[in-house]
Amino acid sequence: MGRKIVVALGGNAILSKDASAAAQQQALRDTAEHLVKFIENGDQLIISHGNGPQVGNLLLQQAAGSTKDNPEMPLDTCVAMTQGSIGYWMQNAMNQVIKEKGLDKTVATVVTQVEVSADDPAFTKPTKPIGPFMNKDEADLAKKQNPDFTFVEDAGRGYRRVVPSPKPIGVVETDAVNTLVDAGIVPISVGGGGIPVVRDGNQLLGKEAVIDKDFASEKLAELVGADSLIILTAVNNIYVNFNKPNQKKLEDVTLSELDKFIEEKQFAPGSMLPKVQAAMDFVKATGNEAVVTALDNIEGFIDNGSGTVIKPEGSKV
């Protein structure tokens, strides 16, 4: 049996400027061509994905069309809806490519709930960007139309809605994911960071939040006993002094080195920082490696280990 790998795919890799279903399905078809390389390599693959653009768009559509007789759905339900729709597109794309390559594998989506703490301070401080980028006038209009929404400027790229983003403390369907892996099935799990729930006796209650998919993917990888967590982003490597004349890519890096770079504020809070922190959490919890690289560098990583590989202190890197 090959390595058990959790691969975390960003929601922006599925949706760029064209929000149509056809465009997102085509993007996932392209994505599947890369992801299937892990299966060809003999790895036991578990896929996770983001949904920030998709759930934000859905919330705006819901708010615009809400009536007394047909009210908008709460945020946790919208996370479940996009988890299902993206999973549907992704499993079809993966299964198509798998069949074309003559591989003996199938892919299935698990509607996944992720447990959070009801006392998480994130519920009083929304920080997670979701939905499309807007200019100032568009954001002001959206705020007027949706007074309960919070909009902030996002990394110089425009304005986006922000919602609470509590830290995951458990993945409810962990056993189901492992059962699928043991049966030779590729699960798609914790889509969009998972549906945020809190425990109340025997009940699981949905919360108005979106969990960061990198932290949810880390928690899943930890709980299923993954050999590696691979976080896919827009660049082949993590960089320090990014976009400066003295920028430097990180290849093999230790936890202490990353701690130093975080102290230097080398990583953007809404962008690379959570990926770095999630990767570090996995290494600390398991002693196994985490990797940050780009979707189109998967073959390079498999063939020669290219990308940023994070290992515990004392490992041979």
275 in catalytic set: yes
Does 128 have pLDDT greater than 90?
no
Share of the chain above pLDDT 90, in %: 75
Considering the candidates 87, 275, 288, 311, report the single residue annotated as catalytic.
275
228 vs 53: CA distance, rounded Å: 27
Q: Which residue has the higher pLDDT, 110 or 243?
A: 110
Element (H, E) at 227: none
**How do residues 227-250 score in pLDDT, each as one tens digit?**
999 999 989 999 999 989 999 999
Residues with Cβ within 8 Å of residue 315, at least 6 apart in sequence: 254, 289
Active site residue 128: yes
At position 52, the amino acid (one-letter code) is G
User: Rounded to whole angstroms, how far apart are CA atoms 170 and 114?
Assistant: 6
Residue 281 has a pLDDT of 98
Active-site option among 4, 10, 11, 56: 11
Among 215, 274, 276, which residue's Cα sits nearest to residue 240? 276
The C-alpha atoms of residue 52 and residue 108 are separated, in whole angstroms, by 21
Query: Which residues lie across from 200 on neighbouring strands?
Result: 203
Task: Look up 287 and say whether it is catalytic.
Answer: no
Structural tokens at position 188: 């798609």
Compute the average pLDDT of residues 280-305.
95
What pLDDT band is residue 16 in, cutting at 50, 70 and 90?
low
State the pLDDT confidence band at 317, using cuts at 50, 70 and 90.
very low
- For residue 316, pLDDT beyond 60: no
User: For this structure, is 311 an active site residue?
Assistant: no
As a whole number, mean pLDDT of residues 292-309 equals 94
Q: What is the spatial distance between Cα 289 and Cα 311, in angstroms, rounded to a whole number?
A: 5
| Mean pLDDT score of the chain | 92
Question: Cα–chain-centroid distance for residue 268?
Answer: 17
Q: Which of 10, 51, 128, 237 is catalytic?
A: 128
Of residues 206 and 67, more confidently modeled: 206
Say if CB 192 and CB 210 are below 8 A apart.
yes
**Taking residues 102-106, what's their average pLDDT?**
96
Under a CB-based contact definition with an 8 Å cutoff, are residues 135 and 196 in contact? no
End-to-end CA gap in the chain: 24
- Nearest Cα to 5, choosing from 172, 189, 167, 175? 189
* H or E segment and range at residue 135: none
Would you say domain 4-115+167-311 falls under CATH 3.40.1160.10?
yes
Are 21 and 244 a contacting pair, CB within 8 Å?
A: no
Q: Active-site residue among 12, 92, 95, 146?
A: 12
Residues of the chain with CATH 3.40.1160.10: 4-115+167-311
| Cα–Cα distance measured from residue 317 to residue 313, given in angstroms and rounded to the nearest whole number | 10
Q: State the catalytic residue, choosing from 207, 213, 219, 311.
A: 213
